[in-house]
């Protein structure tokens, strides 16, 4: 799911990569492309409008860290706005103060409720609870049996009316199941209710009656993410008819556009609490808006890099170094080289950091050959130089190099190699700086 959206957004980000700064026209064009990408993915129109308005005002207001280049700035804003429409913070499941906690599942037939009951049961067990699944779907032939099968697979007990008793009263079954749970010390009861192919008043009434009978701690609305904008309409009908606390998205493994699922939290104003992405009982987890956003962007690594860059780099210092690199005032000297290396080192192992940067693929070998201890040696050498030598390494003649080698406990060969690498790195960084349109990673030794 979300593949088309991902592809389109990557295209947008790629177009920004060569720019050193964004004009208002750039921002407009970018916003237009992102708008199209979201609409094409079937995101709700109102949600798209708000998304784009926020994106524009934030990009224009440069409401982002100065250490980021334009492409990174837009990625960061898009990521944060995605997190916001997905509900912001994760909303964990609430448990009743006095057990049992009652979780009622509601939704259309085929949305994945019964499967979900098993998944939730297994998940709860994994969290140290002792759940009981309740078959209150007495409408669909075989629903009780299906829940029993799922329960068995999950290793979770199922409470069901005796077979052969004909069509029972689901409200009665649900009510009795709570008493059963109390007497057998189950601490969480998951009530599977009947669904229909469409919304109808009888179904709503039954669900509302069950709700009134068992007074659930949480009512979860289960919705198939593949049904498009209908997901939003159905959610709103269920909210009016039955009311619910949170949403469970199922079938996120499907290959549909998925935008409707993205809109649901924002349109309905209810949190997405869980997500299912497969038929297996383990294909299920609590929903985290931030993780989902970075999954949609497909740029988890780049986002991590951005975060670390923000934490580590002092924006002013970076801007100054970038200015030098990009041919502005002053020359990029060994002092800057050392400073940037130290900043990069604070960000984590070099190879990992550089490996995360887009477009760095071809440098893989070089990256893998960087030895962290070597940086200590480089640091010692640079620290043995005079300020004049650091500012202008071209003055480093033979006798200066010998003195520096002695002072740093290295050899002249080491000093030569550092100086050569510095000039190489400076050259490479100048071209990279131009290409990425910003302060790339100027500290990288060549």
Annotated binding site for GTP: 107-114, 192-196, 250-253
Residue 247 pairs in a beta bridge with 221, 272
Q: How far apart are CA 344 and CA 338, in angstroms?
A: 10
Contact stretch for ligand GDP (CB under 6 A) within 50-58, 105-113, 162-170, 309-317:
105-113
Smallest distance, ligand GDP to C-beta of residue 246, A:
16
Binding-site residues: 107-114, 192-196, 250-253
Phi, psi of 106 (to 5 degrees): -130, 155
DSSP string spanning 219-260?
A: EEEEEEGGGTTHHHHHHHHHHHHT--SEEEEE-TTS-S--HH
What do you get for the CA distance between the two ends of the chain, in Å? 40
Of 67 and 219, the one with the shorter C-beta distance to ligand GDP is 219
Cβ-defined contacts of 49-52 (< 8 Å, 24+): 50/85, 50/266, 51/81, 51/85
Phi, psi of 61 (to 5 degrees): -80, 0
Report if residue 211 touches ligand GDP, rule: CB under 6 A. no
Of 99 and 278, the one with the shorter C-beta distance to ligand GDP is 278
User: 419: part of which helix (H) or strand (E)?
Assistant: helix 412-436
User: 374: part of which helix (H) or strand (E)?
Assistant: helix 372-383
Report if residue 279 touches ligand GDP, rule: CB under 6 A. yes
Report if residue 355 touches ligand GDP, rule: CB under 6 A. no
Contact stretch for ligand GDP (CB under 6 A) within 28-36, 112-120, 308-316, 408-416:
112-120
Among 76, 157, 211, 251, the residue binding ligand GDP under the rule CB under 6 A is 251
Among 101, 114, 318, 410, the residue binding ligand GDP under the rule CB under 6 A is 114
Of 251 and 324, the one with the shorter C-beta distance to ligand GDP is 251
Question: Do 296 and 4 meet the contact criterion of CB atoms below 8 Å apart?
Answer: no
Smallest distance, ligand GDP to C-beta of residue 121, A:
13
Report if residue 304 touches ligand GDP, rule: CB under 6 A. no
Report if residue 30 touches ligand GDP, rule: CB under 6 A. no
Smallest distance, ligand GDP to C-beta of residue 112, A:
3
Q: How far apart are CA 264 and CA 210, in angstroms?
A: 24
The size of the chain, in residues, is 446
Of 211 and 324, the one with the shorter C-beta distance to ligand GDP is 211
Among 28, 253, 301, 379, the residue binding ligand GDP under the rule CB under 6 A is 253
Q: How far apart are CA 171 and CA 137, in angstroms?
A: 10
Of 251 and 270, the one with the shorter C-beta distance to ligand GDP is 251
Report if residue 276 touches ligand GDP, rule: CB under 6 A. yes
Q: What is residue 100's three-state secondary structure?
A: coil
Q: x/- contact string, 156-195, with ligand GDP (CB under 6 A)?
A: ---------------------------------------x
Residue 168: alpha-carbon gap to chain centroid = 44
Residues 6+ apart with CB under 8 A from 96: 102, 217
Smallest distance, ligand GDP to C-beta of residue 42, A:
18
Positions in the binding site for ligand GDP (CB under 6 A): 107, 109-115, 195, 250-251, 253, 276-279, 283
């Amino acid at each position: 799911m979300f593949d088309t959206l991902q592809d389109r957004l990557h295209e947008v980000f790629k177009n920004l990569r060569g720019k050193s700064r964004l004009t208002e026209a750039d921002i407009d064009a970018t916003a237009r492309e992102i708008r199209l990408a979201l609409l094409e993915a079937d995101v709700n129109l109102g949600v798209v409008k708000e998304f784009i308005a926020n994106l524009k005002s934030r990009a224009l207001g440069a409401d982002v860290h100065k250490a980021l280049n334009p492409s990174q700035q837009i990625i960061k804003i898009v990521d944060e706005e995605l997190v916001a429409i997905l509900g912001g913070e994760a909303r964990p499941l609430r448990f009743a103060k006095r057990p049992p906690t009652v979780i009622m599942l509601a939704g259309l037939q085929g949305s994945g409720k019964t499967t979900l009951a098993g998944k939730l049961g297994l998940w709860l067990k994994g969290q140290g609870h002792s759940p009981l699944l309740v078959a209150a779907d007495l409408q669909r032939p075989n629903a009780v049996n299906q829940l029993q099968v799922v329960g068995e697979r999950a290793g979770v007990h199922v409470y069901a009316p005796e077979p052969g008793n004909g069509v029972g009263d689901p409200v009665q079954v649900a009510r009795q199941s709570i008493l059963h749970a109390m007497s057998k010390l189950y601490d969480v009861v998951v009530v599977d209710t009947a669904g229909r192919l469409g919304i109808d008043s009888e179904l709503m009434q039954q669900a509302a009656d069950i709700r009134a009978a068992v007074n659930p701690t949480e009512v979860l609305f289960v919705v198939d993410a593949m049904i498009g904008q209908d997901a939003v309409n159905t959610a709103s009908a269920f909210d009016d008819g039955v009311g619910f606390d949170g949403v469970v998205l199922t079938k996120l493994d499907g290959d549909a556009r998925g935008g409707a699922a993205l809109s649901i939290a924002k349109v309905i104003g209810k949190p997405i609490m869980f997500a299912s992405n497969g038929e297996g009982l383990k294909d299920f987890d609590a929903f985290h808006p931030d993780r989902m956003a970075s999954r949609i962007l497909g740029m988890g690594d780049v986002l991590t890099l951005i975060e670390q860059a923000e934490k580590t780099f002092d924006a002013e210092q970076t801007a100054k170094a970038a200015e030098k690199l990009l041919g502005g005032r002053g020359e990029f000297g060994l002092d800057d080289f050392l400073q940037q290396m130290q900043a990069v080192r604070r960000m984590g192992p070099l190879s990992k950091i550089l490996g995360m940067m887009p477009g760095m693929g071809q440098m893989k070998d070089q990256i893998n050959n960087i030895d962290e201890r070597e940086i200590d040696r480089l640091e010692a050498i640079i620290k043995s130089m005079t300020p004049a030598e650091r500012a202008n390494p071209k003055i480093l003649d033979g006798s200066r190099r010998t003195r520096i080698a002695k002072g740093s406990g290295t050899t002249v060969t080491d000093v030569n190699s550092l100086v050569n690498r510095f000039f190489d790195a400076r050259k490479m960084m100048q071209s990279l700086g131009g290409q990425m349109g910003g302060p790339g990673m100027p500290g990288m030794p060549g």
